Amino acid sequence: MNITVIGRGRLGGGLAGLWRTAGHHVTELGRQGGDASAADVIVVAVPGPAIGEALDGVAGLAGQVTIDATNVYGPRATDHLSLSHQIKSVVGGPTAKAFSTNFAALYGEVAAQRTRPDNLYAADLGAREAAERLSLDAGYDPLYIGDLDPGARILEDGSKLTRAIAAQIGPHFYRYASPGRL
Ligand SMILES: NC(=O)c1ccc[n+]([C@@H]2O[C@H](COP(=O)([O-])OP(=O)(O)OC[C@H]3O[C@@H](n4cnc5c(N)ncnc54)[C@H](OP(=O)(O)O)[C@@H]3O)[C@@H](O)[C@H]2O)c1
């Protein structure tokens, strides 16, 4: 896939490295912006309050499949139902929220785990295939929690649980199991 990652910090830069290793062509855009017109998939990995400014600086956003990996810390900076909905209102394509419940600090350790960690995601139908492919190619098992509406908001509100667990055990993986899956 031809992927443009907007935000090249811990999360965006980390995923870009994993996806290159898996054979994808990845362009990372930072604060200076750039052109995403060649992208099959857009990935947004900037701080929540910077989403508007970051997308304003990128040309060629025109209905591509989009993966939103952002999280909410503190008060919401948008009137949209979720940050994913804010991003979708600009890019216009089918959108998924994914990677927001995993820790970039552990990307280097994913492949060494006994079982693949899960990656919770919510998505429009048209973004499911990309979210699943890119989860697998980063070393995670994708775990669908439902449509973008209201799944993205559920994931964003759930980041408080992720942080509460991290306060006890630090950056962590997780894996949900029906009987027989563990
Ligand atoms: N780190 C994690 O483990 C983790 C996990 C889940 C979700 N997230 C979410 O992922 C997002 C990124 O987190 P991060 O940890 O990768 O942050 P980070 O390391 O601080 O990187 C932030 C990136 O966003 C860019 N940026 C900041 N302000 C911008 C602006 N106004 N316009 C355009 N680009 C801007 C920066 O550009 P420059 O490179 O040019 O400075 C940088 O590439 C956040 O929403 C965070 O909540 C992070």
Question: For residue 73, what pLDDT band results from cuts at 50, 70 and 90?
Answer: confident
pLDDT band, very low/low/confident/very high, at 74 (cuts 50, 70, 90): confident
Instruction: For ligand 1, say whether the CB of 135 is within 6 Å of any of its atoms.
Output: no
Indicate the SS3 state at residue 99: coil
For the segment 124-133, the average pLDDT, to the nearest whole number, is: 98
3-state SS track over 1-41: CEEEEECCCHHHHHHHHHHHHCCCEEEEECCCCEECCCCCE
Give every CB contact of residue 174 below 8 A, 6+ residues apart in sequence.
Answer: 101, 117, 118
pLDDT band at 182 (very low <50, low <70, confident <90, very high): confident
Q: Does the beta carbon of 106 sit less than 6 angstroms from any atom of ligand 1?
A: no
Q: Which residues contact 134 (CB under 8 A, 6 or more apart)?
A: 1, 3, 15, 19, 24, 41, 43, 67, 98
The string over 97-107, giving b where at least 16 C-beta atoms fall within 10 Å of a residue's C-beta and e elsewhere, is bbbbbbbbebb
Q: The domain at 2-169 falls in which architecture?
A: 3-Layer(aba) Sandwich (3.40)
Mean pLDDT, range 97-103, rounded to an integer: 98
Average pLDDT, integer, range 103-117 = 97
The whole-number pLDDT of residue 27 equals 98
- Mean pLDDT score across all residues of the chain: 97
- 168 — pLDDT class (breaks 50, 70, 90): very high
Q: Which pLDDT band, with edges at 50, 70 and 90, does 76 fall under? A: confident
**What is the tens place of the pLDDT at every residue in 57-71?**
999 999 999 999 999
In this prediction, residues 112-127 reach a mean pLDDT of: 97
Closest-CA residue, ligand 1 atom 44, reads 47
Q: Is 7 in the pocket of ligand 1 (CB under 6 A)?
A: yes
Q: What is the pLDDT of residues 9-38, one digit of tens each?
A: 999 999 999 999 999 999 999 999 999 999
Pocket test of ligand 1: the residue of 4, 5, 6, 11 to mutate, having most ligand atoms within 8 Å of its CB, is 11
pLDDT at site 147: 98
**Domain locations in the chain as residue ranges:** 2-169
| pLDDT of 163 | 96
Does residue 84 line the site of ligand 1, with CB under 6 A? no
